[in-house]
Structure 1
Amino acid sequence: MQHARFVFQTARPDGVPLSRLGGAPVRWTLISANNRRLGNGRESHATYQECRAAVAYLQAGLARLSSANLVDERSGRVSWVLVLDDIAVAESSRSYLRARECSYNLGRFLESVPVAEVTDGIRVVRINGRAA
């Protein structure tokens, strides 16, 4: 059975060979058991090890997290951000039409953090025709 998991990703623009990808920033994403993105790390990290450490920091600090909703003034869409020790550490992977949808999905993220598997390795995500 599939479980929620933290995956680590780096971006690669089209046409850039993997051999030239060294040193690209790494970000984590929390994926649900049904393969939906629940949330992302707020910051990119220089190395895979630093990114894994950021996930461990998030998991260890779960009781100290605070959240805030962000509203896009133009669209009215709502997203969430999580703050740990005065540092924004996670954000919603998308925005929502309604605040209650945003709150519901924040709850799914918070439920998954302590039990999610931390995967090994980095996934390379291609960016079609755009710079990383």
Structure 2
Amino acid sequence: MSVGPRVVFLRFLSEESPKLKPWRAHYASVTGKTPETISRDGDGDRGGDRGGSSSESGVVTWHLVSANNRPLGRSGSSFLAFADAVDDAQRAVAACHRLEVVLVAHAVSGRYGWFAIADGAVVITCARWYLTERDRRKSIALATDSLAIAALGAGARSINPALMMSSVRETTTL
């Protein structure tokens, strides 16, 4: 297991997964853009998984976490293939020293956020909104410094709401 910041991959059941919707809403509120699910198998249009079994279907994204698993940033895209998500994370790490950070403020709450672009594309967004400008600046520094030394996870964690809720629905009789 890696010590230090790392990129963790998450696999959602589908584009309609209730667990993916907050990620997409956050992306839209931070960047002002509609989130896309990308397949890079050819011309970049949405398409099928680039190899792999049906057990690997779904939507894969990644996020940057600190050594203590605190989220530092989120991927700028979602992917239909795990390999595409890994490629994107590797490109993000490689681009860490040439990122252009865009500062934003939430239109309603006034909270502070940010996202970073490279080559005209959103690479990473803030993990959450911040109450103060100081917190935003600190999160930018921590995320960009961590991205430069991040290790990539070996697989994708499956985010399946049905599995997560099973312990809540189970009852025990004595």
Are 2:80 and 1:50 equivalent residues in the alignment?
no
- More strand, by proportion: 1
Match of 1:69 in 2: 103
Equivalent residue runs for 1:27-106 within 5 Å: 27-106=61-140
Given residue 51 of structure 1, which amino acid in structure 2 is its aligned partner?
A
The Cα of 1:117 is off from its aligned counterpart by 1.1
| Residues 74-120 of structure 1: CA deviation (Å, up to 9, x unaligned) | 10011110001010111011000111101101100111112111111
- Structure 2 unaligned blocks of 5 or more: 19-52, 163-174
**Partner Cα distance (1:22, 1:116) in 2:** 24
* Contact kept? 2:93, 2:150, Cα under 8 Å: no
Q: CA RMSD in A?
A: 2.0
**Partner Cα distance (2:148, 2:84) in 1:** 19
- Structure label with greater radius of gyration: 2
**Partner Cα distance (1:5, 1:22) in 2:** 22
- Structure 1 unaligned blocks of 5 or more: none
- Which of the numbers 145, 155, 167 marks the counterpart of 1:121? 155
Q: Which has the higher contact order (CA 8 A, sep 6+)?
A: 1
**Partner Cα distance (1:76, 1:20) in 2:** 43
* Contact kept? 1:42, 1:89, Cα under 8 Å: yes
Given residue 5 of structure 2, which amino acid in structure 1 is its aligned partner?
A
- TM-score, normalisation: structure 2: 0.65
* Contact kept? 1:4, 1:115, Cα under 8 Å: yes
Matched residue pairs, number?
A: 124
**Partner Cα distance (2:68, 2:90) in 1:** 23
- TM-score, normalisation: structure 1: 0.85
